[in-house]
Amino acid sequence: MIPSSRDVVLGRIRNALGPDRAARANAAVQRRSDIPVWTRPVFLDDDTERFIAKAEASFCTVERLASINGAGEAVERLLAVRGPDRDLSIAPSLIKMPWPQSWKINFGAGRLIEKVSITDALAGIAETGSLVFCSEASRPASLNFLPELHIAVLRRCDIVHHLEDIWPKVRALPVWPRAVNIVSAPSRTADVAQIVVRPAHGPKALHILLVEELP
């Protein structure tokens, strides 16, 4: 019988690593429950302050709101410079929020022409000022990448200290998401003569609505 490529490749690896296959399998299982504590950056700043400072340093804009009920007005202020057109895509997870009646809203996946989208983040990371989005039926990942202006809603209590602190939150979801998008800045490239250009393929601007509470 001709061995499968899987057998051949694993065979080569086992030849190199030696005969103690069971010990290696055991080591890999053991590691899952026995994760070493690796070095983490130490910082003492307040997580909210740090998150805002880091996000702003990465060319994001941050606006603090007492409640999600103020989001409609905040977005209106933001869009005032863009003319009267209000054709937005909003994640279905935010469908029950009090959005202005006059808006034309696509509660669905991202479209070919996508000016503005609003999505909600699972968490923020104080260490880097990053947002974490997990895809699911009511949270299409494409809305995080297609618009010119991406507006992200983040609850202040969802800001965690370190990058590692998001994993328990993701693991706690009912289904492991197809996409976990950690977004730290608007899209950029330096592929033409090392000149930094914003945007490349993703959003030109990332505006974060940092809300004290969601209903």
Partner 1 sequence: MTAHPLNFDRRVAAGLGDEGLQKSLSALKGSFVAARGRAVLALPEFEALRDDGKAIKDHTLANLDAYLETYEAAVIARGGHVHWARDAAEARDIVRAICKQAGARTVTKGKSMVSEEIELNAALEADGLEVVETDAGEYILQLGREMPSHIVMPTVHKTTEQIADLFQKHHAAHGFPDRTLDAAELIGQVRSVLRGKYFKADVGITGANFLVAETGSNIIVTNEGNGDLTSTLARVHIVTTGIEKVVPTLEDLSVMLRLLARSALGSEITSYTTLSTGPRRPGDLDGPEAYHVVLIDNGRANMLSGHFREMLRCIRCGACMNHCPVYMSVGGHAYGSVYPGPMGAVLTPMISGHEAAGELPHACTLNGRCQSVCPVKIPLPDLLRRLRHEQWEQKLVSGTVRFGISAWAWLALRPRLYRATTSLAMRVLGRLGRSKGAFRWLPLASGWTDGRDLPAPEGLTFSELWARRQQR
Of residues 107-126, which lie at the interface with partner 1 (CB under 8 A)? 108-110, 112
Q: Which of 74, 135, 156, 161 binds partner 1 (CB under 8 A)?
A: 135
Judged by DSSP in three states, 113 sits in coil
Q: What's the token pair of residue 67?
A: 């409640």
Residue in the structure block whose two tokens are 């070095």:
39
In the complex, least distance from residue 135 CB atom to partner 1, rounded to whole angstroms? 6
**Nearer of residues 101 and 171 to partner 1, judged by Cβ:** 171
Q: Which of 146, 160, 208, 210 binds partner 1 (CB under 8 A)?
A: 146
Answer yes or no whether residue 145 interacts with partner 1 by CB under 8 A.
yes
Three-state secondary structure string covering 122-145: CEEECCCCEEEEECECCECHHHHC
**Nearer of residues 80 and 191 to partner 1, judged by Cβ:** 191
Which 167-196 positions form the footprint of partner 1 (CB under 8 A)? 167, 170, 175-195
Q: Which of 68, 117, 154, 202 binds partner 1 (CB under 8 A)?
A: 202
Cβ partners under 8 Å of residue 60, min gap 6: 129, 185, 186, 206, 207, 208
Handedness of CA 214, 161, 132, 29 (dihedral sign): negative
Which 60-89 positions form the footprint of partner 1 (CB under 8 A)? none
